[in-house]
Amino acid sequence: MIRDITIGQYYPAKSPIHRMDPRTKLFGTLIFIISVFLFHSVAGYAVATLFLAGMIIISQVPVKFIFKGLKAIFMILMITMVFNILLTPGEVLWKIGIFKITREGISMAVRMAIRLVYLVIGSSLMTLTTTPNQLTDGLEKSLRPLNKIHIPVHEIAMMMSIALRFIPILLEETDKIMKAQIARGADFESGNLIQKVKNMVPLLVPLFISAFRRANDLAMAMEARCYHGGDNRTQMKPLHYTRRDHIAYVVLFVYLAVAIGFRVMGW
Amino acid sequence: MSIELKNVTYTYSPGTSYQIHALKDINLEIPDGQFIGVIGHTGSGKSTLIQHFNALIQPTSGTVSYNGEDVWAEKYDRRKLRSEVGLVFQYPEHQLFESDVLSDVCFGPMNQGMTREQAEEEARKALHHVGFKEENFDKSPFELSGGQKKRVAIAGVLAMNPKILILDEPTAGLDPKGRDEILDQIAQLHKVRGITIVLVSHSMEDVAKYAQRLIVVNHGEIAFDDTPKKVFAHFREMEPMGLAAPQITYIMHALKEKGLDVDPSDTTVEEAKQDILEALKKINSPLLKGGVKND
């Protein structure tokens, strides 16, 4: 049930994309997102599709896995599409009561849908090929210049990695407490909304207590090992750009140039 | 009245790269009135196994039946099943949530449809059974010690008057005294109330002392299922599974090899003591009587 969430889930494999520096992947995802908003023609989307398909093939992540992440945004997708179709002014194709369907509306809706889907696929490709730890390491190093204006980059990155690390633990804990309470006759399914919320108490109280207990234990363990923030801290696996990343950057810049070119040419 | 598992297989995350076969083709019957020990290495599938007993997880294939009825049949009342087959999870103290001990124990019985008064009566009985002191009934469960919390949590399941009680390592994290007390009380429940007990444990000494039947789970399969004495006779085969017989079994085997006439199948210290004393009496009887030593 709750185990089926794919966003933020890592898919272990040994593809070139998995072995890439996380900074390259972060930057690549950013470029891809920008490109999706730059393209606005069929030809443009074809280029983006080719690029994305190529990346998925190289990443060796099963397509089924990538599409599973789309289930989560299905509702948002439907709502945006409906609103776009009904509320965009322009050349009227059909009219039913107060609802008007316009040519511009349909093209806008399709464009929005493609953008949303590509956005989610692109970013889930990154999280599927990058462990949360690598990801925060990459973020930390990329954002290090912000240290100069007194933004605690290391601390923020540390908080992020701890938060990400605790998601599966807390999910597992939820599962366990839920089962324990079901074994005591608790009912999490039936009843109206107010009853359902009330029935959550036997789940939420122990969950909060356990979250605080874990946070306490972790803080204690970190202090016992003399952790005191990012100053002068070295890393066990420092990030280095390799040939692979240089090639990736070349590919990314060519792709970005194509995207900008398409936009400038108005294709 | 029994739980029966037929060809039960359970797979975690089927169809993905995380796929794990937690249970493989398990056939098992748990008749009324037994005290059963379940042992197995961490990750052997024993926790998954016991969660099938009260329909908390549905087998990937195979059937689980209680009193001859398939518990996964469409119309089957699984809530009723769960009140008859009580399951106490590992670290049950993590499930406490009420503001006082008595209310927490009442949670189960009230879910069964009892009124607050009836539930309180059951709760009081259950708390007495696990040796929890009356003066602490109004305390917050969170200010109790680990052992006391555990008792409250066990009472929480016991108050539902289950016919079968399954306990997943109820003594984890307790000191030896607390451990013996809780196990003795569980054995008492078995004797007095006639409840069927399934005790999952890491400690061979504990299962040897209390269980009449021992199930050894290894890699999702049942490796042995017999009386503790017969199971521990295979102690050399159990070692690769990350398990061992009670220490006393090793001592008795060593003594036997050295020529002392003892029964190597002894599993408890008490039996072994009797046995060794008798064996010594036979050998040393002339010596003990002050006779001449002759080899």
What are B14-41's pLDDT values in tens digits? 766 667 888 999 999 999 999 999 998 8
Please compute the mean of the pLDDT values over residues B190-203 and round it to a whole number: 89
The mean pLDDT of chain A is: 87
Residue B291 has pLDDT above 50, yes or no: no
The mean pLDDT of chain B is: 87
> Ramachandran region of residue B200, left (φ > 0), alpha (ψ -120 to 50) or beta?
beta
- One-letter amino acid at B252 equals M
Taking the CB of residue A3, how many other CB atoms lie within 10 A of it?
Answer: 12
Distance of residue A101 Cα from the nearest chain B Cα, in angstroms? 42
Chain A residues lying within 8 Å of B95, measured CB to CB: 177, 180-181, 184, 202, 206
**Cβ–Cβ below 8 Å for A65 and B79:** no
**pLDDT value of residue A216:** 94
Q: Which two tokens stand for residue B109?
A: 């019985």
**Cβ–Cβ below 8 Å for B156 and A184:** yes
**pLDDT value of residue B108:** 92
State whether residue A175 sits within 8 Å of chain B by CB. no
Chain A residues lying within 8 Å of B54, measured CB to CB: 183
**pLDDT value of residue B1:** 63
Q: Which of A55-64, B170-179, B233-242 has the highest mean pLDDT?
A: A55-64
**Cβ–Cβ below 8 Å for A179 and B156:** no
Of B16, B51, B111, the CB nearest to A184: B111
| Closest chain B residue to the Cα of A174, Cα to Cα | B95
Of A11, A179, A184, the CB nearest to B51: A179
- One-letter amino acid at A109 equals A
Q: Please enumerate in sequence order all residues whose Cβ is within 8 A of that of B42, keeping only pairs 6 or more positions apart, or say none.
A: B242
Please compute the mean of the pLDDT values over residues A231-251 and round it to a whole number: 87
Please compute the mean of the pLDDT values over residues A166-191 and round it to a whole number: 87
Distance separating alpha carbons of residues B259 and B266, to the nearest angstrom = 16
Distance of residue A52 Cα from the nearest chain B Cα, in angstroms? 23
**Is ipTM beyond 0.90?**
no
- pLDDT, tens digit, for every residue of A11-24? 888 899 999 999 99
Instruction: Choose from A10, A181, A184 for mutation: most chain B CBs within 10 A.
Output: A184
**Cβ–Cβ below 8 Å for A186 and B94:** no
> For tokens 């049942």, what's the residue?
B222
**Cβ–Cβ below 8 Å for A209 and B142:** yes
Residue A253 has pLDDT above 90, yes or no: yes
State whether residue A181 sits within 8 Å of chain B by CB. yes
Distance of residue A11 Cα from the nearest chain B Cα, in angstroms? 8
**pLDDT value of residue A2:** 47
Overall pTM surpassing 0.90 (yes/no): no
Of A176, A179, A206, the CB nearest to B97: A206
**pLDDT value of residue B290:** 52
pLDDT bucket at B119, cuts 50 / 70 / 90: very high
Q: Is B95 helix (H, G, I), strand (E, B) or coil?
A: helix
Chain B residues lying within 8 Å of A209, measured CB to CB: 94, 142
Chain A residues lying within 8 Å of B14, measured CB to CB: none
CA distances to A190, A192, B80, B140, B286 from A198, in Å: 12, 10, 21, 20, 77
Chain B residues lying within 8 Å of A186, measured CB to CB: 107, 111
The count of CB pairs under 8 A between chains A and B is 59
Please compute the mean of the pLDDT values over residues B233-254 and round it to a whole number: 86
Beta-bridge partner residues of A101: A94
CA distances to A131, B40, B201 from B216, in Å: 37, 6, 11
**pLDDT value of residue B288:** 54
Q: Please enumerate in sequence order all residues whose Cβ is within 8 A of that of B64, keeping only pairs 6 or more positions apart, or say none.
A: B3, B4, B5, B6, B8, B52, B53, B55, B70, B71, B72
**pLDDT value of residue A161:** 83
Give the residue, A213 or A9, on which the prediction is more confident: A213
Distance of residue B75 Cα from the nearest chain A Cα, in angstroms? 16
Please compute the mean of the pLDDT values over residues A86-108 and round it to a whole number: 82
Distance separating alpha carbons of residues B131 and B122, to the nearest angstrom = 14
| Closest chain A residue to the Cα of B16, Cα to Cα | A65
Distance of residue A179 Cα from the nearest chain B Cα, in angstroms? 7
